[in-house]
Structure formats: C-alpha cells, structure tokens
Structure 1
Amino acid sequence: MQRIIGLIFGVTLIAACSEAETESTSSAVETAESTAVVNSVVEGAEEAVAAVAEVAQDAGAREGVWGDIVYGDPNAPIEIIEYASMTCPHCASFSSSIFPKVKEKYIDTGKVKFLFRNLVTNQVDLAASTVARCSNQEVAQKLTKEFFAKQNDWGRSQDPISALAGIARKAGISRTQFDRCLANTEMHKNLVKIGQDGVKEFNVTATPTIIVNGSKLDNYAFETIEKAVDAAL
C-alpha cells in the first residue's frame, strides 16, 4: 500500500481550477474559465493510473458509485450537470455557497435532477475522488461535501492520505475499506474516463463547469443557473 500511495502522489500536481482564490462570487465567475483543462492533464492522470495498476490488485473493483452522484428526483424535468475537481478552490466555494441555493430552490422542490461528475486534474484529486465513491450514493454525497468543506485541511496536509482517511472514517469508511478503495485501479480508470467524456461531449475547459439540459453555461453564478433553469421550465 505504501508503494501505491507513493505512485499516486509522486507526480507534479496540475490545477484545472481558476488560479486565484477570490472573496466574491462575481470575481470567481470572472476567473472561472482562466485555466484550461488540457489533454495533457487527462494523459497525466492516465499515466498515473497505469503506474498504479502495475502494483495494485483489483480488489472489489465493482464496489462503490461508478456513475453520476445524483441529487434529487431522477425524473425531474430539468437536468443540471456539474464537472468539478476535488482540489479546486472554486469548486469548494460552489459547494458551500451556491449548491445549497440550487438545492433549496430546484432540487428539493422536484424541478431539477443534479448530477455531480468528477474531472480529475491531479493525483490528490484522484485519491479523494476515488475514496468519495467507496460506498453508496448517500455516502458519496456526504464525503463529497465534507472533502470540499475541509479542502484546505487535507489539501495542504503533509499526509493527505491520513487526512482523507480521518474524514472518511467519520462517514463510516474504515481504514481497511479506505485502503481497498484507494487501490481500486478500475475506479481510477473510470474517473479518468468521466472527465474525458466531459471534455469531448461538452468541451469542459475549467472547473466548476455547469451544464443545464445539455447546454454549457458561461459561468457558475447562481443567477446564471437560475436564469437557465427558469427558462427551461
């Protein structure tokens, strides 16, 4: 397991999120598209997956959430997709300040089905995204929220694996299950493919990116989402 961890984290980190951390939604929106998710990022993730595959056994490969992390009524008339990186500060800001408004106005009222999709941009992101999907939909939602809320803690930790494991343990993921999830190379490949598909289908170039009924929005401000959803209802 130590060798696996070394392979996951022994790669230069590449951020797809906007570079500057801003204090307001409007500033964040202005910079949200500033850093492109280029093909080299996906290729780098694929190389890391291949390296891990050489030393990891595929234990319980089909455990966990392999598709979208789904919020709301699956039959809701409007579909919103978010592409996000677990290490992106603006994605964390979206999770804490914008998503709750979307949830209250549209998801909880049955108007919107919200689909969360990972766009893996670096090796810490790969680890967090994999662990978040260890169990079921409910746990995936909880861990995604917690990982974003505590992003500064584990993201800047000298030992991000232990920091992530501590958060996961509070959500009911034992260290044994955590380690098994972390070594799941099939999930790593699945996560890379989710991001690749987003780039190909929607030309996702930054995180977070919001898609409403198949149309990519210019920014992720709540007012922009609100306008798009209301126009589609």
Structure 2
Amino acid sequence: MDRRSLLGMVGGLATAGSLGIAFPAAAAETKTDSPYSIRSLGNPNAPVTVYEYFSLNCPHCAEFATHALPKVIESYVKPGKVYYVFKDFPLNEDALWAAQIARALPAKAYYPFISELFRTQDEWAYAPGLKTPKDYQNALFRYAALAGMDRTTFDAAIANKKLRAFVLNELNDAEKTYKVNSTPTFIINGRKREGAVSFDTFSSWLKAA
C-alpha cells in the first residue's frame, strides 16, 4: 500500500511537533505498559534486530502478519536469533485509531490484538456499510472489547492527542530516517527491505543481515 494513501494525514492531523510534545528515545525503550513504550517480541540482545513499519488496515501487512510472521517468530524470535520491533505507519485515520487502541492495551496484549485485527481486517476496515468515523470506531471497539477494553477507555484512547501525536511521530521519523513510503517496510540491522514476502524470502533477508 502506497504512502500516497495517507490522504493528506500528516498535513491535516496534529503531529508531535505541532502539539509541542517531545518523545525522548529512552522513553520508547522503557519496558512498561505505557502506550509510549516499545512494542516488541524477543530478546533485545539478539544478533538481528527487525523494525517493521506497518499499517493495521494494509492488506499487504495483513498477508505478511498472518502467513509469514508466525513462522518468523517460531524460527527466529523464540530461539533468540531476532529481536522484532513493531513500528506504526498508519495509512489513514481508521488505521491511526487502530494503532492508538492497540497501544492503549497492556503491552502483553499488543501482539495478540494486532494479530487479530490483521486476521479480521475485512470485518473492521473494509466491511460494507462502514461509512462514518463512528462506524469504523464501533467496528474497532468490538475487537477492543474482546481484548478486555471498556468503552470509556476506548474512547479516551482515540481522543488522546498525545498518543495520536506519538503514533504520527513514528511515521514522520520513518520517512525522514529510512525513507519509508509503503507498508510493510522492514529495517533489518539497518538495511531497508519492502513487501509482503514469503517466510522463505524473509528468512533469506535475516540470514543476510
């Protein structure tokens, strides 16, 4: 999915800079349930570090997440060979809301939740009848509720301007640092790779890192 699909998001939405919010790098590494802490799988001291820039409503990201990533986790993350870090790159506003909700959940619920959103993407992002912001939010809430989030917490997460700015700050940093313009994009030990590839191809990328 192309960067142009952002529909002018960065121009129309609040960013970290416009809100006067700074996010020190150290804060992102804190292992807490803070929505601003890193979301990752595996050992930070693994020899290979992968950053995946993804959008929760990107079909290509869903393809990779549902077919290749579980095998990557079993073959590389669990044995301690790869440290896998999730990075937000929302392609439109409903993807931004989904990212905010995912980060508002406890850290241990993050990966199961985004995995379920990818698996059911057609039901909350592309289902017939979804027209208004409220439609999309109600569709998202069904999955947030299954993850244990009540409606008050859900609405507060979507309304959280600091969290919104944090997510967009990740997007802006990705564009500036790695020239990310599509999803999924992977930074593997500093090397940029792109596309919803098979497990075998991704495995070859890891071995070349």
Equivalent in 79, 99, 117 of residue 49 of structure 2: 79
C-alpha displacement at 1:49, in angstroms? 3.1
C-alpha displacement at 1:231, in angstroms? 2.8
- Residues 1:174 and 2:144 aligned together: no
Give the RMSD, CA atoms, in angstroms: 2.3
List gaps (5 residues or longer) in structure 2: 20-31
CA distance in 2, matches of 1:210, 1:121: 16
List gaps (5 residues or longer) in structure 1: 1-16, 18-34, 55-61
Are the equivalent residues in 2 in contact too, given 1:45–1:123 (CA < 8 A)? no
TM-score (norm: length of structure 2): 0.82
Amino acid of the residue matched to residue 51 of structure 2? I
Q: Which residue of 1 aligns with 2:203?
A: 226
Partner deviation per Cα, 1:210-233 (whole Å, 9 max, x = no partner): 11101012544223321122233x
Matched residue of 1:228: which SS? helix
Are the equivalent residues in 1 in contact too, given 2:52–2:87 (CA < 8 A)? yes
Q: Which residue of 2 aligns with 1:100?
A: 70
Q: Which residue of 2 aligns with 1:49?
A: 14
Matched residue of 2:86: which SS? strand
Amino acid of the residue matched to residue 38 of structure 2? D
Could you tell me the percent identity over the aligned residues? 31
Amino acid of the residue matched to residue 49 of structure 1? A
User: CA 1:126–1:218 in 2, change beyond 3 Å: closer, same or farther?
Assistant: closer
Partner deviation per Cα, 1:49-80 (whole Å, 9 max, x = no partner): 37xx99xxxxxxx9742243101112211101
C-alpha displacement at 1:188, in angstroms? 0.6
- Residues 1:212 and 2:177 aligned together: no
| Further displaced range: 128-137 or 220-229 | 220-229
Partner deviation per Cα, 1:134-171 (whole Å, 9 max, x = no partner): 12221211211111111100113421211111101111
Are the equivalent residues in 2 in contact too, given 1:199–1:205 (CA < 8 A)? yes
Partner deviation per Cα, 1:107-128 (whole Å, 9 max, x = no partner): 0111000001010221111111
Q: Which residue of 2 aligns with 1:91?
A: 61
C-alpha displacement at 1:184, in angstroms? 0.5
Counting only pairs closer than 5 Å after superposition, residues 177-216 of structure 1 correspond to structure 2 as 177-216=153-192
Counting only pairs closer than 5 Å after superposition, residues 125-204 of structure 1 correspond to structure 2 as 125-157=95-127, 158=130, 159-204=135-180
Are the equivalent residues in 2 in contact too, given 1:106–1:112 (CA < 8 A)? yes
User: CA 1:86–1:218 in 2, change beyond 3 Å: closer, same or farther?
Assistant: closer
The aligned length equals: 188
Are the equivalent residues in 2 in contact too, given 1:42–1:195 (CA < 8 A)? no
Are the equivalent residues in 2 in contact too, given 1:45–1:121 (CA < 8 A)? no
